[in-house]
Amino acid sequence: MVDRVDSAGEWTQSSRFPDEVLERVLALIDSHKDRSSVSLVCKDWYNAERWSRRHVFIGNCYSVSPEIVAARFPRIRSVTLKGKPRFSDFNLVPEDWGADVQPWLSAFSTAYPFLEELRLKRMAVSDESLEFLATKFHGFKALSLLSCDGFSTDGLKAIATHCKKLTELDIQENGIDDLGGHWLSCFPESLTSLEILNFASLNSEVSFDALEKLVARCKSLRVLKVNRNISLDQLQKLLSHCPQLTELGTGTFMQELISGPVAEFKNMFSNCRNLITLSGLWDATPFYLPVIYPACASLTFLNLSYATLRSDELANLLSHCKTLRRLWLLDTVGDKGLEAVGSCCPLLEELRVFPADPFDQEILLGVTESGFVSVSRGCPKLRYVLYFCRQMTNAAVATIARNCPDFTHFRLCIMNPGQPDYLTKEPMDEAFGAIVKTCTKLQRLAISGLLTDRTFEYIGKYAKNLETLSVAFAGSSDLGMEYVLQGCQKLRKLEIRDCPFGNAALLSGLTKYESMRSLWMSACNVTMNACRVLAKERPRLNVEVMRDEEGGDDSQAHKVYVYRTVAGPRRDAPPFVLTL
């Protein structure tokens, strides 16, 4: 559309693109954020955008209804849907809270009968829903389930049996009822279209014969992640059928019979020239790890978070992995292992260090500030870190920030709640102050340790690009939360637990919450009355309070979940969820 300003200074439309042209152009835009912007330009663009959109991303399933989505976007082929608040991953949300996918599937079966892809995160999914999906959508191709619950392997049977054009089945970290591995045998012999198969998180054994035949006939298979029951020699057989793999998740990486097997497996990876991602590696020992060395030179993502490696074992391995960009580890590698990361992986952009024994408070093992500093010295391109440790200092984090100013995601978990700088005994305020001052691109921050309101003052003042903030056991007063709500203009998700923030803090965000996706506050000092005030003042927010299971003070709001919505109050809320 071309506008001209005439002599009177008024806009006129002198020529317009035909809608089809506009749609064609807009069809090239993938990012849903960009599409959102496009749709706001004017009515014509809004319409062109909605007709050309093929993929819809819904970050909170209760922010909109299936009917509204179907009415606005008539030609959707792919849906991403997220449900429960993130703290449900840590058992803070009771079962039966909601986020049932069925209402969406029912609406889509009429609105989008040609739906091809469905990606669900933290949704409640039943076997009946999976069967519905498999039988009502005839061209269905790709299913990804991450951190969902409510289904069993019977649901997977339905998918395998009925989805004739399936290209992707990606099952990750779900609360699934594992009734056995028979589902895999349900793929018919006629199914040859699989490109992605990930069942690494399922415990029970599948028929290896069925798996081998499936892999052999799916010539386009590029991602294969098997579960722990698949042995090394079985893996070798599988790899012989699909050398074209780009991503591999191994099974158990150890054989119990030690009878000169390394020679046998030495060539297992020599034909896999396209491998860029490697994961699994359960029970990997120094005896068998060298088997993967031939594949290491091209790896960009190595997930060792299920392998209990020691520092020397990791160092030997990493000396072969110079091109790594993403690395996930267990803290069994220790600080020495992290030194090896710093020396071997100069291109590293993402590091996640998980705790091997998070709940044993007697342990003094794992990684410390020293390991993190070593990595920061050797890996200046780091932008994403998730780090679990038992001790940290302000000085170390300041050094890390100086070494890696490009952080976009900084998630530091000092595992003992409210723990100070272990050398100076001071709060960890200056650590996070250094991060927000230096790392101007910071989008996501998770803080821990002993923290006063000063931390939040720093965050509010400096973290101008911050979108997601996770807070636990921190802060001294309402001011803390107020600083963040006032200062962080781009804030979208705020999740808080066990902090001394009360009603004043909650209500200071009155005008802010509609510009955010959601707010979670649990075990803070918020009362029901304050929640009622918020709900009354802001009808476009859903203010939900979850009743405490143990009874307790009814005037206190123990778990508060606030989110913007155009769909009004939930109609499926269970009895323990009060919408105010």
Site for other proteins in 175-194 (CB under 8 A): 175
Residue 550 within binding range of other proteins, rule CB under 8 A: no
Cα(first)–Cα(last) distance of the chain, in Å?
45
Number of residues located near other proteins, criterion CB under 8 A? 40
Binding segment (CB under 8 A) for other proteins, from list 217-225, 260-268, 361-369, 452-460: 361-369
Residue 11 within binding range of other proteins, rule CB under 8 A: no
| Identified binder of other proteins from the candidate list 147, 250, 303, 376, rule CB under 8 A | 147
Q: Which is nearer to other proteins, 14 or 361 (CB)?
A: 361
Helices and strands (H, E) in the chain, number of each type: 20, 25
Residue 201 within binding range of other proteins, rule CB under 8 A: yes
CB-CB contact of 226 with 250 (8 Å): yes
Sign of the C-alpha dihedral computed for residues 337, 340, 341 and 342 taken in this order: positive
Residue 310 within binding range of other proteins, rule CB under 8 A: yes
Residue 355 within binding range of other proteins, rule CB under 8 A: yes
Residue 87 within binding range of other proteins, rule CB under 8 A: yes
- Measuring CA to CA, which residue among 352, 285, 356, 271 is closest to residue 314? 285
Residue 327 within binding range of other proteins, rule CB under 8 A: no
Residue 368 within binding range of other proteins, rule CB under 8 A: no
Residue 230 within binding range of other proteins, rule CB under 8 A: no
Residue 288 within binding range of other proteins, rule CB under 8 A: no
Binding segment (CB under 8 A) for other proteins, from list 84-92, 215-223, 369-377, 452-460: 84-92
CB of 417 to other proteins, least distance (A): 6
Binding segment (CB under 8 A) for other proteins, from list 16-24, 51-59, 243-251, 308-316: 308-316
187: left (phi over 0), alpha (psi -120 to 50) or beta: beta
Residue 311 within binding range of other proteins, rule CB under 8 A: no
Residue 363 within binding range of other proteins, rule CB under 8 A: yes
H or E segment and range at residue 66: helix 66-72
| Identified binder of other proteins from the candidate list 73, 265, 354, 372, rule CB under 8 A | 354
Residue 174 within binding range of other proteins, rule CB under 8 A: yes
Residue 257 within binding range of other proteins, rule CB under 8 A: yes
- Measuring CA to CA, which residue among 22, 1, 23, 21 is closest to residue 11? 1
Binding segment (CB under 8 A) for other proteins, from list 216-224, 303-311, 426-434, 537-545: 303-311
Residue 96 within binding range of other proteins, rule CB under 8 A: no
Q: Which is nearer to other proteins, 174 or 408 (CB)?
A: 174
Both tokens assigned to 126: 């039943």
Q: Which is nearer to other proteins, 132 or 306 (CB)?
A: 306
Binding segment (CB under 8 A) for other proteins, from list 37-45, 46-54, 250-258, 455-463: 250-258
Residue 472 within binding range of other proteins, rule CB under 8 A: yes
| Identified binder of other proteins from the candidate list 128, 283, 514, 548, rule CB under 8 A | 283
Which DSSP letter does residue 548 get? P
H or E segment and range at residue 545: strand 541-546
DSSP one-letter string for 110-177: HH-TT--EEEEES-B--HHHHHHHHHH-TT--EEEEES-EEEEHHHHHHHHHH-TT--EEEEES-EEE
Separation CA 165–CA 90 (nearest Å): 36
- Measuring CA to CA, which residue among 495, 430, 424, 439 is closest to residue 457? 430
Residue 306 within binding range of other proteins, rule CB under 8 A: yes
CB-CB contact of 190 with 164 (8 Å): yes
CB of 523 to other proteins, least distance (A): 9
Which DSSP letter does residue 300 get? S
DSSP one-letter string for 388-455: EES---HHHHHHHHHH-TT-SEEEEEESSTT---TTT---SHHHHHHHHHH-TT--EEE--SS--HHH
| Identified binder of other proteins from the candidate list 34, 67, 95, 360, rule CB under 8 A | 360
Residue 552 within binding range of other proteins, rule CB under 8 A: no
Separation CA 485–CA 511 (nearest Å): 10
Residue 204 within binding range of other proteins, rule CB under 8 A: no
Residue ranges binding other proteins (CB under 8 A): 87, 89-92, 147, 173-175, 201, 254, 256-257, 283, 285, 305-306, 308-310, 332, 354-363, 365, 388, 413, 415, 417, 470, 472, 497-498
